[in-house]
Amino acid sequence: MPDKAHETVRALIRARQSAVEDLRRRRQAISSMMLRHGWVFAGKKTWGALHGHWLRA
């Protein structure tokens, strides 16, 4: 049986995994919506600084 400290760390890891998955889903939804509207980023790497600048413009 894990002690309280181990259980706390495990809960933190599960929360982080959930947040990462949520971010991935939201990025995919935004990318899909932009593609449906014909908005294509011409740069090489999405979700970086240049992509964020392009999204805000």
With contact defined as beta carbons under 8 Å apart, do 45 and 51 qualify? Answer: yes
pLDDT at 2: 78
Are the CB atoms for 32 and 46 separated by under 8 Å?
Answer: no
> pLDDT, tens digit, for every residue of 8-47?
999 999 999 999 999 999 999 999 999 999 999 999 899 9
Single pTM value for the model: 0.78
| In the chain, domain spans | 4-56
